[in-house]
A and B are shown apart, each in its own frame.
Chain A
């Protein structure tokens, strides 16, 4: 097993009396992109700043490439950590040209060739003499990335890197950044509150809440097998129904399903909209009450005779309209122990 690029163990940090990081653990393998996902105020930015050295945790240890930078009485200043950071507002130095920004962290004699090389890597060859305000948002983003990559850091940290871009350029820039990071074989951690972004960009996603990591997994596993109801809901649309489990079966208002989790007693059953198949049927048990059209697909809200609600994702064709009846089949469920929460 190789040394991880970065590992945090038991890191805590309070602001006033609020715990921004509470016994926080995280490990990132070399050459991978980790998405740190959580709602605002969950402590994800504090975690980044602790790794970079801008905030000093009260307890815990942080190692970068096997070297302790925080903990056991050690404190390494941010400028000595070789960690590149891409800030939410990019923080480009407005008084320096693009080349001046990218070369800021480089030794003077090595700078010109390295600057050209890095600018070429981010697709900004020849723009070195521009000033930051002459660039578009996406270009500024790439300069910020180039500046962070140029000194060949152990690790790149990106703080909400796409939140300042508008939706059309956002998806494109996201793909570009992912490509650049992969080509540079960089290890990266990026912070986001957007689950779609985290799932699309990362090799591994860590979901944070109230200063701790709830679950760390590959995007697909995380989405399909969330560790609890909160993570499940945070990752995307889902309906929850109460159920009773016994002998490998779960009974709910939506029907009876097979259960391989071995639960018994009261449980919560999660159904993702894409696990629901609809068939038009005038005598079907589900009534279409709403339809949200997204272009590539649509989300159908259904009411059942039993009073339960169900969400289904279908293709874009206008087959199901409010007032229509349909039959449904559920292809996948996730079962959680009943926590007593009401979800409707």
Chain B
């Protein structure tokens, strides 16, 4: 290359201005974005209007000592659960990804598995298994302490949410370039120093993301706190809604809850902002750190204890109730069909809308389309009880016969869980070179044909993943379903909730186990594909 020397700046692909161009988006893409998000955004606007219009009552509610107490209760729970989830998640991830712990493959599955357990199922098993007259006392003949209130909620939500931290951190650990750590060792750092100075800073982002999910889940949780009787926001909002004619207090509290969610988002984005590097991805395998005998025994004891508390106890308890009183009401076919139907409808609708919206946010990225993504994440973070309440408020007033219809219920599900479908589909679209679409058009195909013949077939993994995620979360969803379900529609989640509310634990066991069984398959598919 004698001629190509100093005068030729090396061009790195992709380069050039055409990669940041704004091509005008087809108006239908915007229609899809509005259709997907309006069912959360519009009622939310009404809700704020109502709270502001509530005047004196609203102000009284906000300023009452009761509200302050609720904020304290809820924040304490959120901080405690997020901290415990972070400790368990990071510790387990380190053990299963970076050490020579025996049986790592099995532990990886066992540690992640509680992901399929909804918080209210864990809470139900905790309260029915423990206590002086619980299953464990009966089996062992020893009086067990009752676990209710704060500690019950803490237990259920920690178990339900530490897998988020675990999965995100474990996958980040797998991607960290071992060469950087080897370089640090070569410069004289001990293994311990390498972890704190090299590995932990690189994990900050992953831990932040996992803790965010854990905190938002805890804030939004309604089922577990209600069952264990802990006065957090969601429980009180629902009680206010159900027990009073004036809905203003419920609405105002629901909005304060949303503010708490935004505080959590803000804190997380602060943690994220100071990120001074881009992690180097690597395919090289990390050589596992050897554990001493003592460390190994302690680690195994810890993981066994975790599996007993997080997996064996909940699932064992459900089976114990089932064996005690086999299917008191038979198999609830109606609820099973109801759950599967609404979840499937929500998944299909979410995916159908997420494909065009993904095209909008990936291929026509600009200030406005970035907002579509942001709003979808906000809708996902707003506690479900607030969303449900807002929709009740709007639908009962303005939508006439649509109030408590399947259409409204599914539309709200889609809106709330839209971020899951969009996230999965947009990341698979972002991996596709835009020249694929251009190539199809250059070969004589219209925009729409290029979409259906080239882009959608190539995104099928992302589409399947997005659909499965929405299906799973809809199956487990509780407060929106309770508030908006059409009369006559029963779901497994509602069955579990009402049976355990009436202390009919045997009656709750069947729908709970069915819920786990239906969730297990898609979870398995998702988990095995992610690797």
In the complex, what residues of B have CB within 8 A of residue A79's CB?
441-446
Which of B13, B443, B458 lies in contact with A151, CB distance below 8 A? B443
Q: Is the CB of B11 within 8 A of A20?
A: no
In the complex, what residues of B have CB within 8 A of residue A84's CB?
442-443
Which segment of B15-23, B28-36, B219-227, B281-289 sits at the interface?
A: B15-23
Q: Is the CB of B8 within 8 A of A95?
A: no
Interchain nearest-CB distance for A175 vs B (Å):
16
B59 CB-CB contact with A under 8 Å? no
Q: Is the CB of A41 within 8 A of B17?
A: yes
- Chain A 55-84 interface 0/1 with B at a Cβ cutoff of 8 Å (1 = within): 100000000000000000000011111111
Q: Is the CB of B2 within 8 A of A294?
A: yes
A87 to B5, alpha carbons, bound, how many Å? 25
Which of B16, B443, B445 lies in contact with A40, CB distance below 8 A? B16
A235 CB-CB contact with B under 8 Å? yes
Q: Is the CB of A46 within 8 A of B11?
A: no
A312 to B421, alpha carbons, bound, how many Å? 63
Nearest CB to that of B17 among chain A residues?
A: A15
Does more than half of chain B's interface fall in helix, strand or loop, or is it mixed?
Answer: loop
Considering only residues 123-176 of chain A, those with a C-beta below 8 Å from chain B are 147-148, 151, 160, 163-164, 167
A313 to B4, alpha carbons, bound, how many Å? 15
In the complex, what residues of B have CB within 8 A of residue A78's CB?
438, 441-442
In the complex, what residues of A have CB within 8 A of residue B23's CB?
55
Which of B435, B444, B457 lies in contact with A87, CB distance below 8 A? B435
A337 CB-CB contact with B under 8 Å? no
Interchain nearest-CB distance for A251 vs B (Å):
27
Q: Is the CB of A15 within 8 A of B446?
A: no
A87 to B4, alpha carbons, bound, how many Å? 22
Q: Is the CB of B458 within 8 A of A95?
A: yes
Q: Which bracket fits the contact residues of B? A: 20 to 34
Which segment of A2-10, A193-201, A275-283, A300-308 sits at the interface?
A: A193-201
Nearest CB to that of A50 among chain B residues?
A: B18
Q: Is the CB of B8 within 8 A of A46?
A: no
- Chain B 125-154 interface 0/1 with A at a Cβ cutoff of 8 Å (1 = within): 000000000000000000000000000000
Q: Is the CB of B11 within 8 A of A160?
A: yes
A35 to B13, alpha carbons, bound, how many Å? 19
Q: Is the CB of A52 within 8 A of B438?
A: yes
Considering only residues 425-446 of chain B, those with a C-beta below 8 Å from chain A are 433, 435-436, 438-446
Q: Is the CB of B442 within 8 A of A235?
A: no
A30 CB-CB contact with B under 8 Å? no
B278 CB-CB contact with A under 8 Å? no
Nearest CB to that of B24 among chain A residues?
A: A56
A85 CB-CB contact with B under 8 Å? yes
In the complex, what residues of A have CB within 8 A of residue B453's CB?
104
Q: Is the CB of B439 within 8 A of A85?
A: yes
In the complex, what residues of B have CB within 8 A of residue A236's CB?
2-3, 7
Which of A91, A233, A313 lies in contact with B439, CB distance below 8 A? A91
Which of B4, B11, B446 lies in contact with A77, CB distance below 8 A? B446
Nearest CB to that of B449 among chain A residues?
A: A79
Interchain nearest-CB distance for A265 vs B (Å):
27
Q: Is the CB of A52 within 8 A of B18?
A: no
In the complex, what residues of B have CB within 8 A of residue A95's CB?
454, 457-458
A31 CB-CB contact with B under 8 Å? no
Q: Is the CB of B9 within 8 A of A148?
A: no
Known contacts A15-B17, A55-B18, A91-B433; A237/B2 CB under 8 A? yes
* Residues of chain A whose beta carbon lies under 8 Å from any beta carbon of chain B: 15, 18, 20, 39-41, 43, 45-46, 49, 52-55, 77-85, 87-89, 91, 93-95, 104-105, 147-148, 151, 160, 163-164, 167, 193-196, 199, 233-237, 294, 297, 299, 313
Identify 10 residue pairs between A and B in the complex whose beta-carbon atoms are under 8 Å apart, listed by A's number.
A49-B18, A55-B21, A55-B23, A84-B443, A85-B439, A91-B439, A94-B458, A95-B454, A195-B3, A299-B2
Apart from A39-B9, A79-B442, A93-B440, list 14 A-B contacts with CB within 8 A. A39-B8, A41-B17, A88-B14, A89-B433, A104-B453, A105-B443, A147-B443, A151-B444, A160-B11, A163-B13, A164-B13, A193-B8, A193-B11, A195-B7
Nearest 9 interchain pairs by C-beta: A105-B443, A91-B435, A87-B435, A40-B11, A236-B3, A91-B439, A15-B17, A78-B441, A85-B442
